[in-house]
């Protein structure tokens, strides 16, 4: 049944990707706000499918830590799940992502319509400059910026070096950082077809104030907050089978 449920979800997700990406092209004349509210339903639909078809639910700890104004979200990255859930948990947002994703048929087209900060991860300082310039503009426009500081999805129990781009944006702009930990990879693994039923635990830490602080200090505090929460919510099975620390 788990394989059947996973197959049904995959069919539903592929179909909704084509539908909403095509719809987005028709809505390109709309301002970003209304366009985002309509296309956000793609994420909500697939979260609904995950719950009712695959039995994957989620619970959030620390909702009271979400600040009233725009902020920079630093999130653990284990799965496709969090790219959907962020849109339900947090206000209107853009993501820092690798530009290659925009080349994907349908899915990439839909992403491009939501004004992401699409970077060349191999461009070094140029990519950081792009994050700062475009990130400041998005934040000033009232949008949240979502960053996965480890840069890529990692299996449960693994961790990687936290890259500096998001912390440099935070130090430069003065907007707070909201650290987010979750264990979605235990239920929807990276490149995993099979979805395991269960409840994803999401932990939102207290906002990290960034005014007058260095990017190094911000990055260290965010990493400590996220990884300490991960230690608490990761199932012991995944801790004992974790690969060695990954340093890209």
Q: What's the full length of the chain, in residues?
A: 248
pLDDT computed for residue 29 by the predictor: 92
Structure tokens at 28: 């390109």
Q: Where are the domains of the chain?
A: 56-240
Distance CA 127, CA 115 (A): 16
Nearest to 54 by CA among 107, 98, 10, 116: 10
Nearest to 153 by CA among 83, 203, 212, 201: 83
- The domain 56-240 having CATH identifier 3.40.1130.10: the answer here is yes
Show pLDDT as tens, one digit a residue, over the chain (248 residues).
889 999 999 999 999 999 999 999 999 999 999 999 999 999 999 999 999 999 999 999 999 999 999 999 999 999 999 999 999 999 999 999 988 988 888 888 888 989 999 988 777 788 899 999 999 999 999 999 999 999 899 999 999 999 999 999 999 999 999 999 999 999 999 888 999 999 999 999 999 999 999 999 999 999 999 999 999 999 888 876 655 555 45
Q: Say what the pTM is.
A: 0.93
DSSP states of 10-27 = HHHHHHHHHHHHHHHHHT
């Amino acid at each position: 049944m788990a394989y059947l449920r996973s197959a049904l979800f995959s069919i539903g997700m592929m179909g909704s990707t084509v539908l909403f990406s095509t719809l987005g092209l028709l809505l390109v004349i709309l301002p970003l706000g209304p366009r985002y509210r309509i296309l956000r339903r793609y994420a909500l639909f697939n979260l609904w499918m995950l719950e009712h078809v695959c039995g994957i639910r989620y619970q959030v700890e620390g909702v009271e830590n979400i600040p009233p104004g725009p902020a920079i979200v630093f999130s653990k990255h284990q799965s496709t799940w969090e790219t959907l859930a962020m849109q339900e948990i947090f206000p209107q947002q853009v993501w820092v992502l690798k530009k290659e994703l925009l080349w994907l048929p349908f899915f990439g087209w839909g992403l491009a319509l939501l004004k992401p900060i699409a970077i060349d991860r191999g461009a070094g300082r140029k990519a950081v400059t792009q994050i700062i310039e475009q990130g400041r503009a998005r934040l000033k426009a009232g949008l949240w910026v979502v960053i996965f500081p480890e840069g890529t999805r990692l299996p449960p129990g693994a961790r990687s070096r936290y890259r500096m781009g998001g912390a440099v944006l935070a130090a430069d702009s003065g907007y707070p950082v909201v650290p987010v930990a979750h264990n979605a990879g235990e239920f929807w693994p990276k490149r995993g077809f099979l979805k395991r039923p269960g409840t994803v635990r999401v932990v939102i830490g207290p906002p990290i104030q960034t005014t007058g602080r260095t990017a190094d200090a911000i990055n260290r505090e965010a990493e400590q907050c996220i990884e300490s929460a991960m230690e608490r919510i990761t199932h012991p099975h995944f801790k004992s089978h974790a690969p060695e620390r990954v340093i890209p």
